[in-house]
Amino acid sequence: MIHQPSVAPNSAEQAIAARIAAAMPTLTPIHRRMGDYVLANLFRAATMRIDELASVVGASVATANRFARALGFDGYPQFREALVRGFEATLAPVERLRSAQESLAAGDDVLDASLEQAANNLHATRTAIDRNAAEAAVEAIIAARRVFVLGYGASAFLAGLMEHGLMPYHDNVQSLALMGGPSHAARRLFASNEDDLVIGLAFPRYVEDTIELARRAASRGARVLALTDSPRSPLAQFADLSLYIRADRRLAANADSAVLAVIEALCDAVAYRAKRSVKAAAEVSEFVLPWLVDPHAENAGPNERPARVVSRAASAAGKPGKPGKPGEPAATATPRSTRTSSKTQAKR
């Protein structure tokens, strides 16, 4: 299994823990109980309002406020501010959702606001994207011997869509996001080299597996294309190419709509530039034809439906039709009831 880098407690977390531990000998029993809970659940406590923390330890709101003052804070708001410090990026969507629920009136159109934000993200991305970097990204995809797409969390689904979009136009593109997990991805990337391209998708809250696997591939010589939010992204720090995408979302960690739009744009550009792309698209379309539904054909009579539809219908009935000689219609399975009736009549 791939080594997971240990995550050391941040300095703010250490400071608040040390402050509570130092005050423990002087606290009342109920305050010690509150301190024990906070020490054991620092992140969870950082998400709690004063009444929630008081309730979980069986204390009053006034007791929770006195607990904060016993630690040297002016009150609970200042204590919680110290708790949150260091968890800002992780807690940001939680706080935005809490704020929205407390401030939005019943008549406010959350759906419209969300769609407007998605449109703003797309506009900002289109305006700010580096055209030279985008061209270089397309060239890197086309030139790569193998393309590996990395993304975990919500980005895993985007990685799969990128694999789907590039597959007709590149002989070897693989999403390493889902099956087998990070250890399987590490095994695939072990043999990567300067002929390969790793496309990493990383947005706040950044997933360590994506960063670490891309970094290891880079150490073996593979080029790295980062689809991420800003130059401050940990993935952008070592990527050979970066495309920055606005992914703001009011009530969640980030939005996927603009990211998907950029992925589709890259796939379209590769399709336009790749050799044999028209032939490849036609061959893929022909190959998947039996699994596609033509509503006009499905509503037509048997004599008007294409052979592939009749064959599929026969297969669904239990036994596929047998192909006849050239010029002869395909043989179809005889229903069991008909065969039984014929045998009975023969005996009579």
Domain boundaries 11-88, corresponding CATH code: 1.10.10.10
| Assigned CATH class of 117-284 | alpha beta
Ranges of each domain in the chain: 11-88, 117-284, 295-347
The per-residue pLDDT for 336 is 46
Question: Can you give the pLDDT at residue 341?
Answer: 45
Strands (E), 160-269: 173-175, 196-202, 223-228, 241-244
pLDDT at residue 26, as a whole number: 92
- The reported pLDDT for the residue numbered 291 is 82
pLDDT, position 339 = 47
Question: So what's the pLDDT on residue 84?
Answer: 80
Threshold 0.85, pTM exceeds = no
pLDDT at 3: 40
pLDDT for the residue numbered 106: 52
Consecutive 10-residue averages of pLDDT for the chain (348 residues) = 42 80 92 91 85 92 93 91 74 66 62 87 92 96 96 92 93 86 87 95 90 95 96 95 91 84 96 80 79 70 55 50 48 47 46
The Cα–Cα gap between 150 and 252 comes to: 21
